[in-house]
Structure 1
Amino acid sequence: MRVARIDEKICDKSSFCPAAASCRFKAFRVILTTSFRVNISIDEEKCTGCGVCVRYCGPGAIKLIEKEKAL
């Protein structure tokens, strides 16, 4: 089974993250830190590995990996 993983070095931490908004499983946690920056994380228990968020991530910071490798 696959899960989404965010590369923090690539993520632009935009408060308008289209990848987080695209997740119909509500697997993204978006916490506002400043007016235009957020901390974004993925709840791997909710993530189904469907890959929709990967397509919506403009900077390409989200990749799908095998869950065994995510541990």
Structure 2
Amino acid sequence: MSYALKLAGAAIALLLLGALAIVIFVDIWAGVGMGAAIIVVFGGLLVLVWNVDRKDKAKRAAIDELPPI
């Protein structure tokens, strides 16, 4: 499969996920306001990034303990 088709597939997937997010979060936006909805979304992303970073640091811990060459 060519790179262009993979890129197009990724773009379509992001578009569909964005549309799905709008459908899911429209009630939250209407209920608490746009600012609070943005805080919820970015807070979730922050927790996700923190979790990935924590796992990456745990993997690197064994590498950091190796003696220098």
Higher helix share: 2
TM-score range, shorter chain: under 0.3
Greater relative CO (CA pairs within 8 A, separation 6+): 1
Structure number with greater Rg is 2
TM-score by length of 1: 0.21
Higher strand share: 1
TM-score by length of 2: 0.21
